[in-house]
Amino acid sequence: MARAAKSALVLCMDVGFSMSNSEPGQEPSFEQAKKVIQKFVQRQVFAENKDEVGLVLFGTDGTKNGLAEDGQYENITVHRRLMMPDFELLEEIESKLQPGGQQADWLDALVVCMDLLQEETMGKKFERLNIVLLTDLNVQTSADQLDVIIDSLKKARITLQFFLPFPVDGEDRADGGGDGPGPSAAPVRPGKGLSRQQTQGLEMVKNIMTSLEEEDGLEEVYTFSDALQKLSIFKRIDRRPMAWPCHLTIGSSLTIRIVGYKAVTEEKVKKSWAIVEAQSHQRDDVKRETVYCLDDDNETEVQKDDTIQGFRYGSDIVPFSKVDEDQMKYKSDGKCFSVLGFTKQELIRRHQFMGSQVVKVFAARDDEHAAVALSALIRALDSLKMAAIVRYAYDRRSNPQVGAAFPCIKEKYECLLYVQLPFMEDLRQFTFPVLENNKKFKPSESQLSAVDALIDSMMLVEKDEDGESVDVFKVNHIPNPQFQRLFQCLHHRGVNPDDPLPPVEPWLKRDLERPQAVSARCQTPLQDVKTKFPLKVVVKKKEQKTSADVFGSSADEPDAKKVKVDEETEFNLAEIAKGNITSVGSVNPVRDFCTLIRQKTVSFDQACQQLTHRIEQLLGNRSPEYYMKSIACIQAFRDQSVSSGNAELFNSYMQSLKRSVPDRNLQELWDLLIQDALTLISKDEVDGSTFSKQDANQFLAFEQKEEVQAAPVQEDTGDVDDLLDMM
């Protein structure tokens, strides 16, 4: 980044007694001015630029300045000489800035500030010298030196900003409006007559400002309340965007010298949070260590030196050293801005813009031939409604992009706007179901007109008295709330280390809300929309780990059987035709198993073995979908065992399954078995069984008790209990 140009600024605040006066219910000017200064210094501290700030107070009880001599320049205190603002200054403003009991001439104070600026900036390079005067002008001033002061301000190229408790052009502000930043607030203290000194002072302010900056001079006079509301009106002396000189080329022989600047890009918080030790607040007390370990059970640590770099290539991992990578990687041949061709602007969709920036491209500075050549291109593109598709590479080390350069013709200048476009790899082609011609979602006429009215009532663009449409919600005028909030909290914590964080400032919240006028306007149409569109939150089923969830309802168990039966009949047709079920498949193991048993193609033992094999396989995937299938298998296993009078295989399988529950983390499955009462086959059912009915019942119940002790999630077992009770 280019080294930012520094500026020097003296805040000159009136602390005289008149500043402490106020209308009932209004904040004294002193407090308002103090807030402005606080906000400003806060901004400077957090912006962390190299700007230097001094603070001069006038109307103080004491006198401390370099010009004070023989009763001249009294009650003016240089509180702080030019320095980079820091927290100390913020703390001083917070605690030490008190109203004074005297009055001092603001012109004298201005002279002190000028002297301070000149003295302290001598020999240093400053881009801009600025004095900010905050006063109510309510003091007698001697205007005889005015011309001399204006002259020396001009000579020293010092700019001025005034912050006053009232607007500079009182009554005529309303119809002259629109030249200030954004829609201006209603004049403060409307109709309140100013004192003679104030009127006189105001004339002088106007005089100074217009002679300094000619037509725009008065734009640099603000009211306190305006300033507080819109801190962005401080001249933003941000980083100057770095110039990127390059050549625009078309083919091999047409070259135009250009310079690009980043014009729009997402500004990020510049600092990240450091980790400090909680007690000492020392960074150095925390050491961070990264270890490498093998992905085995012991997590065996290995040294960093014993590791090499690799990349995934699908299922392969390819060792690829940094050196080799650098040698083999794609190399671009330096910076470029080469036209690949021209295309209709309409073929480049707004949503295809990629990257995080927009670059403005101008002709090289002071090269009129380049300017003419680029102008020809810009105008040609503009009149043809076309854009250039270009290959853009920032420098030798960076990867090339493909982007579009759009013509942009403004009243004062012309340029190209460059935006990155996607590569094939960046795109995802998703197909979405039709909305418009979908009968289910087709809106009725009344619905359409309700939304129509809603849109009309919520337009953020309004016509003003002159018939000009005015945008009432300009996002690009809103400061990023993230920074404002962060700095607010940092400031607060810096000054009051033990306080909790403050709430979001009301003005910031307001900035993020729908404008009040719009909110009021849309009330009725919104109500209409509300009644015409039934919108209902779909109640999500609670995550209960019961088979009710899996099967749909708790009374679903018979259903599972029914499905099976249905399938059998359906299957029979195919079976007759083909008849080649030879093993228990995984797609429909229950059906395969039943078929095998019925057809007796394989022995009962074998069929059972195949089935248990499938069950085990299914249990390998721990998901409800597979549990459902496993349980259906177990159910079929049990049913078939009972009907063939062979309980041994089933019972022994169940016992082994039970033993493996803790190891394989199959509690969930077991819960489902309990719910479906899928227990051992008892003597009552099959003679050969070695288990009584009681044994069989206990088989599950015992497990359940154990689970209550073992499982930390008691809610789940509770659910099961409830369900069992209900059954």
Chain residues 349-368 in contact with other proteins, contact rule CB under 8 A: 349-358, 360, 362-368
Stretch of 102-110, 153-161, 319-327, 637-645 lying at the interface with other proteins (CB under 8 A): 319-327
Per CB under 8 A, does 179 bind other proteins?
no
- Give min distance, CB of 232 to other proteins, in A: 6
- Give min distance, CB of 143 to other proteins, in A: 30
Nearer to other proteins, 410 or 542 (CB): 410
Dist. CA 146–CA 149, nearest whole Å: 5
Dist. CA 175–CA 484, nearest whole Å: 33
Residue 169's nearest CA partner among 159, 182, 184 is 184
- Give min distance, CB of 644 to other proteins, in A: 26
Q: Are 592 and 607 in contact (CB under 8 A)?
A: no
Q: What is the DSSP letter of 442?
A: P
Binding mask 444-473 for other proteins (x = CB under 8 A): ---xx--xx-xx--xxxx---------x-x
The footprint of other proteins on residues 471-490 (CB under 8 A) is: 471, 473, 475-483, 485-486, 489-490
Dist. CA 397–CA 268, nearest whole Å: 23
Per CB under 8 A, does 156 bind other proteins?
no
- Burial annotation 535-563 (CB, 10 A radius, 16+ → b, else e): eeeeeeeeeebbbbbbbeeeeebeebeee
Per CB under 8 A, does 174 bind other proteins?
no
- Give min distance, CB of 592 to other proteins, in A: 10
Per CB under 8 A, does 399 bind other proteins?
yes
What 3-state class would DSSP assign to 548?
Answer: helix
Per CB under 8 A, does 586 bind other proteins?
yes
Per CB under 8 A, does 713 bind other proteins?
no
Per CB under 8 A, does 709 bind other proteins?
no
In the Cβ-directed half-sphere of 725, how many Cα atoms lie within 13 Å? Answer: 6
Stretch of 63-71, 122-130, 667-675, 694-702 lying at the interface with other proteins (CB under 8 A): 122-130
The footprint of other proteins on residues 595-624 (CB under 8 A) is: 617, 620-623
Nearer to other proteins, 96 or 329 (CB): 329
> Contact with other proteins (CB under 8 A): which of 441, 510, 572, 677?
441
The footprint of other proteins on residues 251-310 (CB under 8 A) is: 251-257, 259, 261-267, 271, 273-278, 281, 283-295, 299, 302, 306-310
Dist. CA 485–CA 508, nearest whole Å: 8
Dist. CA 23–CA 27, nearest whole Å: 8
> Contact with other proteins (CB under 8 A): which of 25, 186, 193, 434?
434
Per CB under 8 A, does 245 bind other proteins?
yes
The footprint of other proteins on residues 634-663 (CB under 8 A) is: none
Q: Are 311 and 320 in contact (CB under 8 A)?
A: yes
Handedness of CA 252, 258, 264, 266 (dihedral sign): positive
Nearer to other proteins, 24 or 397 (CB): 397
Nearer to other proteins, 127 or 171 (CB): 127
> Contact with other proteins (CB under 8 A): which of 330, 468, 516, 709?
330
> Contact with other proteins (CB under 8 A): which of 155, 439, 541, 600?
439
Dist. CA 315–CA 704, nearest whole Å: 43
Nearer to other proteins, 377 or 657 (CB): 377
> Contact with other proteins (CB under 8 A): which of 144, 413, 499, 558?
413
> Contact with other proteins (CB under 8 A): which of 82, 160, 415, 594?
415
Nearer to other proteins, 47 or 642 (CB): 47
Per CB under 8 A, does 55 bind other proteins?
no
Stretch of 12-20, 141-149, 496-504, 688-696 lying at the interface with other proteins (CB under 8 A): 496-504
Nearer to other proteins, 46 or 58 (CB): 46
- Burial of 221 from C-beta contacts in 10 A (0-12 / 13-18 / 19+): buried
Per CB under 8 A, does 375 bind other proteins?
yes
Per CB under 8 A, does 684 bind other proteins?
no
Per CB under 8 A, does 128 bind other proteins?
no
The footprint of other proteins on residues 525-584 (CB under 8 A) is: 526-527, 529-530, 533-538, 571, 573-574, 577-578, 582-583
Q: Are 448 and 519 in contact (CB under 8 A)?
A: no
The footprint of other proteins on residues 180-199 (CB under 8 A) is: none
Per CB under 8 A, does 97 bind other proteins?
no
Dist. CA 197–CA 137, nearest whole Å: 7
E strand or H helix at 709:
helix 693-710
β-bridge partners, 164: 223
β-bridge partners, 469: 463
> Contact with other proteins (CB under 8 A): which of 334, 585, 645, 718?
585
Stretch of 95-103, 149-157, 327-335, 713-721 lying at the interface with other proteins (CB under 8 A): 327-335
> Contact with other proteins (CB under 8 A): which of 25, 70, 125, 155?
125
- Give min distance, CB of 564 to other proteins, in A: 13
Angle 648-664/693-710 helices, nearest 10 degrees?
A: 0
E strand or H helix at 649:
helix 648-664
- Burial of 367 from C-beta contacts in 10 A (0-12 / 13-18 / 19+): middle
Per CB under 8 A, does 323 bind other proteins?
no
The strand pair at 158-164 and 221-223 is best described as parallel
Residue 129's nearest CA partner among 49, 238, 53 is 53
Per CB under 8 A, does 401 bind other proteins?
yes
Q: Are 47 and 168 in contact (CB under 8 A)?
A: no
* Contact partners, residue 589, CB within 8 Å, separation at least 6: 611, 614, 615, 618, 629, 633
Dist. CA 235–CA 223, nearest whole Å: 15
Angle 648-664/604-620 helices, nearest 10 degrees?
A: 10
Nearer to other proteins, 3 or 600 (CB): 3
> Contact with other proteins (CB under 8 A): which of 381, 405, 666, 700?
381
Per CB under 8 A, does 319 bind other proteins?
yes
> Contact with other proteins (CB under 8 A): which of 328, 397, 541, 663?
328
The footprint of other proteins on residues 57-76 (CB under 8 A) is: none
E strand or H helix at 403:
strand 401-409
Count of chain residues binding other proteins (CB under 8 A): 229
Stretch of 201-209, 316-324, 671-679, 683-691 lying at the interface with other proteins (CB under 8 A): 316-324
Per CB under 8 A, does 397 bind other proteins?
no
Nearer to other proteins, 95 or 429 (CB): 429
Residue 618's nearest CA partner among 587, 574, 592, 640 is 587
Residue with tokens 């091999």: 252
The pair phi, psi for residue 98, each rounded to 5°, is -120, 155
- Burial of 665 from C-beta contacts in 10 A (0-12 / 13-18 / 19+): exposed
Q: Are 363 and 371 in contact (CB under 8 A)?
A: yes
Per CB under 8 A, does 711 bind other proteins?
no
> Contact with other proteins (CB under 8 A): which of 397, 430, 569, 663?
430
Per CB under 8 A, does 693 bind other proteins?
no
The footprint of other proteins on residues 331-350 (CB under 8 A) is: 338-344, 347-350
Per CB under 8 A, does 727 bind other proteins?
no
The strand pair at 7-14 and 386-393 is best described as unpaired
Residue 643's nearest CA partner among 617, 613, 608, 616 is 608
